[in-house]
Amino acid sequence: MTNPNAKFRAKFDARVTARYDIKALIGRGSFSRVVRAEHRRTRQPFAIKLLEVKGREGHEACQAELGVLQRVNHSNVIRLAEVFETQHRVYLVLELATGGELLERVVARGTFRERDATKALMMVSSGLRYLHSLGVIHRDLKPENLLYYHPGQDSRLIITDFGLACWENKTAASFQSIEDTAVMTQDANFDSAHVEKSCQAKDWAVRTLCGTPEYLAPEMLARRPCSSAVDMWALGVITYILLSGSLPFDQSSQPRLFRAILRGSYSFHGDPWKSVSTLAKSFIDCLLTLEPERRMTAEETLKHPWLVSMAACSSNKNLHRSISRNLQRRASRASSRGPSSGSTPGSRVSMRPGSRPGSGPRLGVRDRSQCLKITA
């Protein structure tokens, strides 16, 4: 039988195969492939992300991601080892994370307590503090993009997938107030088109709306200039999921979802919130704040009493059963909705000119093949 990986090996430039032994295909997107590889001399494992880039826009999008990856160097951020470029392809050699996604680790454990959550969140916050100090905004932070480096209990947690990352513009002015956003949400027929019409009416400049719907910050939906605060909002959503297995904003359609986010409509009702400490809820509240300037920064999260004490004063209750049950219910609802539903948890939307589809799941990168160009 023909080796199923042989055709993928043929796609690799001779310079790449001279240094790396291509082992197996581990992920794919519309315009990319991710393979597990081994350095021929050191035998060290790596992940190689092959990007098909055609045309000026494709190269520009790839260079934007490269610009971030080539500059970062932190234990909680994916590391780029080297890059190979040809006319139509770019090969990113990245460290290989084999410990699984954040929520996979939670489900696989027999126990999960608040202290376990704080350990993970400290690593993510540390990575975000570093990225934000450089002026990097991730813009697609979610559990699928948080990978453990190895299966051991002492593994570091890594922020991955910088396909939608951008550099923060410190001088960007806000084009809309929170009060304007609140008025927008009062329309019972609000939907994504409503946002676009409001943008046109106010003669706004083109704004970027990208990421995964359930994690989008309200200022992104309102098409206001975004800052590193959008990552902190996403961290609030992640924390909520980590402690409960459910989403803070979980609606049956995208218009309802966006409306809930713009209103900041979430609660701590249901299981297991009665067993979650007040400090943990305070941590979430300080992140899921509508006003970005009042939202906790990454630096401030690391100083929050809940993380500083590592939940020492919190309940020692095992949340594992409730989290696993809620995650299972969420997955069942998502599958029952099917691809035609307005909002499928975990699916990414990208509304920016020249968006480039992503690559395989092991790097936390999701398919960006369905992109909408929205101008205001």
| CA-based radius of gyration for the chain | 21
DSSP state of 73: -
DSSP state of 249: S
DSSP three-state, residue 20: strand
Does 231 qualify as catalytic in the annotation?
no
Is 317 annotated as contributing to ligand binding? no
Indicate which residue of 140, 161, 231, 367 is catalytic. 140
Whole-angstrom distance, CA of residue 245 vs CA of residue 252:
17
Burial 185-197 (b: 16+ CB within 10 A, else e): beeeebbbebbbe
The values of phi and psi at residue 14, to 5°, are -60, -30
Strands across the sheet containing 45-52: 20-29, 32-39, 45-52, 89-95, 80-85
- Residue 37's DSSP bridge partners are 22, 46
For residue 272, is the peptide bond before it cis, meaning its omega torsion is within 30 degrees of 0? yes
DSSP three-state, residue 45: strand
* Secondary structure element (H or E) that encloses residue 254, with its range: helix 254-263
Q: How far is CA 326 from the centre of its chain?
A: 20
Q: What is the DSSP string of 304-373?
A: SHHHHTTTTTS-----HHHHHHHHHHHHHHHHHH-TTSS--TT--EEESTT------GGGT-----SB--
DSSP state of 275: G
| Tokens representing residue 274 in the block | 């009665």
Q: What residue numbers does the annotated binding site for ATP cover?
A: 49
Residues belonging to the active site: 140
